[in-house]
Amino acid sequence: MSASVVATRPFEDQKPGTSGLRKKVKVFQQANYLENFVQAVFDSIGDFAGQTLVLGGDGRFYNRQAIQIILKMAAANGFGRVLVGQGGILSTPAASHIIRKHKAFGGLILSASHNPAGPDEDFGIKYNIGNGGPAPEGVTDAIFARTKDIGEYRILAADDISLDDIGETQLGDMRVEVVDAVADYADLMRSLFDFDAIRALLAGGFTMAFDAMHAVTGPYATAILEDDLGAPKGTVMNGVSKEDFGGGHPDPNLTYAHELVDVMYGKTSRPAPDFGAASDGDGDRNMVLGNGFFVTPSDSLAIIAANADCAPGYQGGIAGIARSMPTSAAADRVAEAMGLECFETPTGWKFFGNLMDAGKVTLCGEESFGTGSSHVREKDGLWAVLFWLNILAVRKDSVANIVTEHWRKFGRNYYSRHDYEGVDSAAAGQVLQTVRDQFTTLPGQRLAGRLVSACDDFSYADPVDGSVSSNQGVRVLFEDGSRIIFRLSGTGTSGATIRLYLESYEADVCKHDMDAQDALAEMITAANEISKLQALSGRDRPTVIT
């Protein structure tokens, strides 16, 4: 087997977004496209000779072919060992854990997360560093720079290896170890949560449903929830992973996880269970529901923090909390009450890594259905589900009661996100610019019955390494803590997606039972007025409301 050096030419569009490089499968299938990016990664991450790389993906279309290419490139570039999930599968949090547990140099995770899969849909790849977390901006910037001047890549001329059986294969000088995709991760979950208490809960008539949405969490949820914790067979819905995710959109929210939502709101023949949850394509997101009750991700983070001592892994106390900027300030109130520091970072899990490594935070969350902790360096869907089950097992109360009691104590942060997907890119840019143009005139004005206190483009200085990330969202901030935020998505693959985030705080318990859209109605109208969002985008309503 010999390594060959293949001449190539740069592609101009390989800039990693919020979470790696995401493109249509057809783009990735172009000659040298994947190879260029992988070589650019290898050229940018330092000296890994003889070291370990972790490799796996969410199982979507093109996963297996990509893994074969990357294995041969890793061998030709001098890695000593690759740990690859059986069948080429690793959920994003499981990959993060394996990188950490085996002290790997880093990992390549193949996923476009919640984006649809199939020959005409999306594929993605991202590099995670040795702490198990997404590469920080300094690294992704270096990778992008390298993609623009790359002239050759290295690849071993070898046959494909079998990914289906656990065991070892030699590929040139490199060892490939096909590892159980679930076992290490399941052990980690057992070390954090009170499995006996959850088992007793599930044995005592408590009912639940988990929707794996035909994506990567199927095998993880089946092994943990059904086989270990004893939930009845069938608890995991859509648990068989498919290359096209069953033609669906594995995004755990009220729009795309409608099958689970129907079950939880009693719209099917079965009685609504006590607890429901769903995860996304690569297993890092979660949606949590009670019987006829939706828990916003922002509230979920706050409630997990307030109840952290229910779970054995967190009984020693938590260091601090971090949330992405658009995430509601519900967690800030809990942090304040617990005497903890609360950090506000730009969107994307990569910004939490330094805070966790420095021991400044234990719990992190994003409004986009992402919750996690320092047990790994990615958000973790099943972890959040198990945390909720652990809380329910200890508190022996319903999801709805736990949430409403939380609001009674801390007040309610009404929250919603409106997405306008597939908008013309120039028009999307104009929407944000329209608001920016009013940065000096809006403060002091009243909008939606509230006083505007400040406007800015959110900028973040990392408290650990001092790096600054600018232009992370256009904010209109109100005196009473309410916020209107506009951001462009960094994960889409066609056109632009405008995200409008709305938040309003309500301390009065008598006003806690409103529908979020009703409670935010004036804010929604004001947001449209100041941005000309609907006129500029040519849309009269959002495509997704969460």
For residues 493 and 172, what is the distance between their CA atoms, to the nearest angstrom? 36
For residues 477 and 474, what is the distance between their CA atoms, to the nearest angstrom? 10
Q: Confirm if 385 and 491 have CB atoms less than 8 A apart.
A: no
| List 96, 491, 531, 537, residue binding ligand VG1 (CB under 6 A) | 491
Stretch that binds Co ion, among 37-45, 239-247, 278-286, 400-408 (CB under 5 A): 278-286
Does residue 113 bind Co ion (CB under 5 A)?
Answer: yes
Nearer to ligand VG1, 88 or 283 (CB): 283
| List 251, 284, 299, 332, residue binding Co ion (CB under 5 A) | 284
Does residue 416 bind ligand VG1 (CB under 6 A)?
Answer: no
For residues 81 and 119, what is the distance between their CA atoms, to the nearest angstrom? 30
Helix axes 92-101, 381-395, angle to 10 degrees: 90
Residue 253 Cβ vs Co ion, minimum distance, rounded to whole Å: 12
Q: Confirm if 345 and 322 have CB atoms less than 8 A apart.
A: yes
| List 490, 522, 534, 545, residue binding ligand VG1 (CB under 6 A) | 490
For residues 470 and 457, what is the distance between their CA atoms, to the nearest angstrom? 7
Q: Which of residues 275-304 bind ligand VG1 (CB under 6 A)?
A: 280, 284-285
| List 282, 378, 419, 462, residue binding Co ion (CB under 5 A) | 282
Residue 481 Cβ vs ligand VG1, minimum distance, rounded to whole Å: 21
Taking CA atoms, 9 is separated from 69, 77, 146, 227, in Å, by 18, 19, 12, 50
C-beta contacts of 444-452 below 8 A and 24+ residues apart: 447/476, 447/478, 447/526, 447/529, 447/530, 448/482, 448/522, 448/523, 448/525, 448/526, 449/522, 450/478, 450/479, 450/480, 450/482, 451/478, 451/479, 451/480, 452/476, 452/477, 452/478, 452/479
Does residue 418 bind ligand VG1 (CB under 6 A)?
Answer: no
Q: Which of residues 19-38 bind ligand VG1 (CB under 6 A)?
A: 19
| List 35, 122, 211, 280, residue binding Co ion (CB under 5 A) | 280
Given ligand VG1, Co ion, none, residue 370, with its beta carbon under 5 to 8 Å by kind, binds ligand VG1
Q: Confirm if 516 and 502 have CB atoms less than 8 A apart.
A: no
Given Co ion, ligand VG1, none, residue 217, with its beta carbon under 5 to 8 Å by kind, binds none
For residues 324 and 11, what is the distance between their CA atoms, to the nearest angstrom? 31
Question: Among this protein's residues, is 373 annotated catalytic?
Answer: no
> Could you give the angle at the alpha carbon of 376 between the alpha carbons of 130 and 419, nearest 5°?
105
Residue 311 Cβ vs Co ion, minimum distance, rounded to whole Å: 23
Nearer to ligand VG1, 211 or 280 (CB): 280
| List 72, 114, 377, 475, residue binding ligand VG1 (CB under 6 A) | 114
Instruction: Give the other-Cβ count within 10 Å of 207's Cβ.
Output: 16
Does residue 43 bind Co ion (CB under 5 A)?
Answer: no
Stretch that binds Co ion, among 105-113, 168-176, 333-341, 507-515 (CB under 5 A): 105-113
Stretch that binds Co ion, among 282-290, 443-451, 505-513, 522-530 (CB under 5 A): 282-290
Instruction: Give the other-Cβ count within 10 Å of 468's Cβ.
Output: 9
Q: Which residues pair with 363 in a beta bridge?
A: 321, 373
Kindly determine how many residues on this chain lie close enough to bind Co ion according to the rule CB under 5 A: 5
Of all residues in this chain, which one has the CB nearest to Co ion in the complex? 113
Q: Catalytic pick from 19, 96, 113, 504?
A: 113
Given ligand VG1, Co ion, none, residue 345, with its beta carbon under 5 to 8 Å by kind, binds none
Retrieve residue 121's tokens: 């849909």
For residues 311 and 334, what is the distance between their CA atoms, to the nearest angstrom? 17
Q: Which positions are annotated as active-site residues?
A: 113
Interacting residues toward Co ion by CB under 5 A: 113, 280, 282, 284-285
Interacting residues toward ligand VG1 by CB under 6 A: 18-19, 113-114, 280, 284-285, 324, 347-349, 366, 368, 370, 489-491, 499
